[in-house]
Amino acid sequence: MTTEYHTPITTGAAAAAATFNAVFATLDTQIKANTDLLETWAADDESPVEAVAAATVSIIGVVKQTTLTLDLTDTNEISLADGADHGAGVKIYDFPAGRILILGAVINCTTATENATEGAATVDLAVGTATAADDATLTSTEANLIPSTATDTGEDTWKAAMAASAQFDGTSTAVALYVNAGVTDAISSGAVAVAITGTLTVTWINLGDY
């Protein structure tokens, strides 16, 4: 504390309860106000797509770290048809409106890929701010958060990180996140289904809106 916020007790003076209680009452009020503010930020800003992701958040000043627990299984897994190069994506999160500075992102997931004819098909996975086009490659906004990573048929792991921090303009349309997949027809001998479970941790700042 400093003398700006309390009346000092002089050396040798009696430690009166009223003196201490007044100071602690001020502290309690401010702590409660800060706690309510943090809870409001979390409630207002966090928008996971509930069918496939749940969010927890940590806040330090203006910096937020959102951990999305992904559950892209059963009806929410990514399906890729046979007969051509294919790509598809699943929306997992909406940021609040504003210009979003993403400081970094790390994914730590387990994948389970099934080929309808039990063939071996390598599936590329990425996280981006746009859903995958219906082709085999994941580039540009399809993979601008987590870069394209090859995963194998059967059970595999998907561990990758964002290469560098970047800003995304969500002032007109809020920035969203998608988990994307792509497979080439040449290495797929049937329809492919990809299930993904694990976490995506994103550290970010909302720079403001206009």
Percentage, residues of the chain above pLDDT 90: 58
Q: Which residue has the higher pLDDT, 164 or 21?
A: 164
Q: Looking at residues 188-204, what average pLDDT do you find?
A: 92
Q: Looking at residues 160-179, what average pLDDT do you find?
A: 97
Q: Looking at residues 105-114, what average pLDDT do you find?
A: 95
Q: Looking at residues 111-140, what average pLDDT do you find?
A: 88
The pLDDT confidence band at residue 18, using thresholds 50, 70 and 90, is low
Residue 27 has pLDDT above 50, yes or no: yes
- Residue identified by tokens 């009696």 is 14
Nearest Cα neighbor of 168 from 125, 105, 122 is 105
Residue 62 has pLDDT above 70, yes or no: yes
Map residue 113 onto helix, strand or coil. Answer: strand
What local confidence, expressed as pLDDT, does residue 40 receive?
Answer: 44
> Phi-psi region for residue 20, left (φ > 0), alpha (ψ -120 to 50) or beta?
alpha
74-98: per-residue pLDDT in tens? Answer: 999 999 998 889 999 999 999 999 9
Map residue 2 onto helix, strand or coil. Answer: coil
Burial-class residue 78 by CB neighbours within 10 Å (0-12, 13-18, 19+).
buried
39-54: per-residue pLDDT in tens? Answer: 445 545 567 887 788 8
CA distance 28 to 24: 6
CA distance 181 to 86: 8
One-letter amino acid for residue 178 of the chain = Y
Q: What is the DSSP letter of 8?
A: P
One-letter amino acid for residue 134 of the chain = D
Bridge partners, 193 (sequence order): 79, 114
What local confidence, expressed as pLDDT, does residue 39 receive?
Answer: 46
Query: CB–CB of 38/59 below 8 Å?
Result: yes
What local confidence, expressed as pLDDT, does residue 170 receive?
Answer: 97
Percentage, residues of the chain above pLDDT 70: 78
Tokens found for residue 137: 């490659």
Question: 29 CB contacts (<8 Å, ≥6 apart)?
Answer: none
What local confidence, expressed as pLDDT, does residue 44 receive?
Answer: 52
Residue 36 has pLDDT above 70, yes or no: no
